[in-house]
Amino acid sequence: MPVVATLSLVAQAADLGQVRQFIEGATEMLGLDSETTAHMRMAVDEAVTNVLEHGYHNQPGRLELNICREQTDVIIYLSDEAPVFDPTQVPPPDLSIPAPLRPPGGMGLHFIRQALDELQHEALPDGGNRLIMIWRNVAPEA
Amino acid sequence: MAAPLNITVSEEQGQVPITVFHVAGDIDGSSYETLRTEAASAYEAGMRYLLLDLAKVKYMSSAGLRALHNIFDMLNADISAEEQKKVARGILDGSYKSPYLKLLNPTRDVQRTLSTAGFDMFLEIHNKAKAAINSFTQP
């Protein structure tokens, strides 16, 4: 599967803007529309935020983002070296409870799920995680 | 790099004294604490009614919602237990809008974030500053 763009960095929260800019650059290169770009920016920002907060406990940690294209699908891989954690197993928030009556927070994963078509997780053989975020039929025909 | 969060503060006198935060930059996992801290400092200094001008916020993540939620809770902390129950009932039946915290001019992306999380159900969103100022009344 052709890799369109890669970003590798030892990240902390201050790098979130750089991560979003990387996504915006890649979606422009792929010719994606603004709606899809907004979804990808949000999903990746939230996923990276989760890794930095819960995986690396707000300490700098290694991240790699790979953006791949397979025909009209776009797949973003987010790899880290944090303790293994599978976000696909986290139950969704109870949205029947209005927002102000729920505890603050806990919406990041909901936003990720809302923004993409498919979310997968792999535990890496040497430790760490790979989150696979898939958008179907969003890229123009090559 | 994203623009650092910049907050300028002004005071307006409507039917009640209103503090306006003019926020510029992205509200994300690196900056939401700035908003929360500024609001907490203003609250300590006596602020009770807050209008957040979000016209220059291009992006807000769930971390920004966390800050809004904390500010909402902070501004509601002074009301009586009986009032708290009324607020909870109003939130549940969809009739409650915060009289203490309101939003001005969110961009389209920020508006989408607010509505996805249901924050537009309990926070008034205004498009005109004057109307927003005039909408604050003593509850």
Pick the CATH number of A3-135 from 3.40.50.720, 3.20.20.80, 3.30.2010.10, 3.30.565.10: 3.30.565.10
B61 and A108: CB-CB below 8 Å? yes
Rounded to whole angstroms, how far apart are CA atoms A42 and A18? 13
Banded pLDDT at A1 (limits 50, 70, 90): confident
**Residues of chain B contacting residue A100, judged by C-beta atoms under 8 Å apart:** 69, 72-73, 91, 122
Rounded to whole angstroms, how far apart are CA atoms B100 and B50? 6
Rounded to whole angstroms, how far apart are CA atoms B13 and A17? 36
How far apart are the CA of B13 and the nearest CA of chain A, in angstroms?
28
Point out the residues of chain B with pLDDT beneath 70.
1-3
Q: What percent of chain A has pLDDT over 90?
A: 85
Rounded to whole angstroms, how far apart are CA atoms A113 and A109? 6
**Residues of chain A contacting residue B1, judged by C-beta atoms under 8 Å apart:** 17-18, 21
CA of B101: how far to CAs of A13, A15, A63, B1, B63, in Å?
A: 27, 30, 37, 30, 18
Q: What percent of chain A has pLDDT over 70?
A: 100
For B69-94, give the secondary structure using H, E and C. HHHHHHHHCCCCHHHHHHHHHHHHHC
Name residues whose C-beta falls within 8 Å of residue B41's C-beta, 6 or more positions apart in sequence: none
* Structure-block tokens of residue B69: 């939620």
When pLDDT is averaged across residues A92-99 and rounded to a whole number, the result is 87
CA of A57: how far to CAs of A9, A74, A136, B11, in Å?
A: 17, 29, 32, 38
Domain boundaries, chain B: 6-135
Please state, rounded to an integer, the average pLDDT across all residues of chain A: 95
Tell me the β-bridge partners of B18: B12
A53 and B29: CB-CB below 8 Å? yes
Name residues whose C-beta falls within 8 Å of residue A95's C-beta, 6 or more positions apart in sequence: A110, B118
How far apart are the CA of B30 and the nearest CA of chain A, in angstroms?
5
Which pLDDT score, from 0 to 100, does residue A95 have? 85
> For the segment A16-46, what is each residue's pLDDT rounded down to a tens digit?
999 999 999 999 999 999 999 999 999 999 9
Q: Please give the ipTM for the structure prediction.
A: 0.91
When pLDDT is averaged across residues A113-124 and rounded to a whole number, the result is 97
Higher pLDDT, A33 or A142: A33
A17 and B118: CB-CB below 8 Å? no
Residue of B nearest to A18 (CA): B1
Relative orientation angle of helices A108-115 and A34-50, to the nearest 10 degrees: 150
* Structure-block tokens of residue B81: 């237990």
**Residues of chain B contacting residue A94, judged by C-beta atoms under 8 Å apart:** none
Rounded to whole angstroms, how far apart are CA atoms B130 and B74? 25
Higher pLDDT, A105 or A116: A116
B6-135 folds as Transcription Regulator spoIIAA (3.30.750)
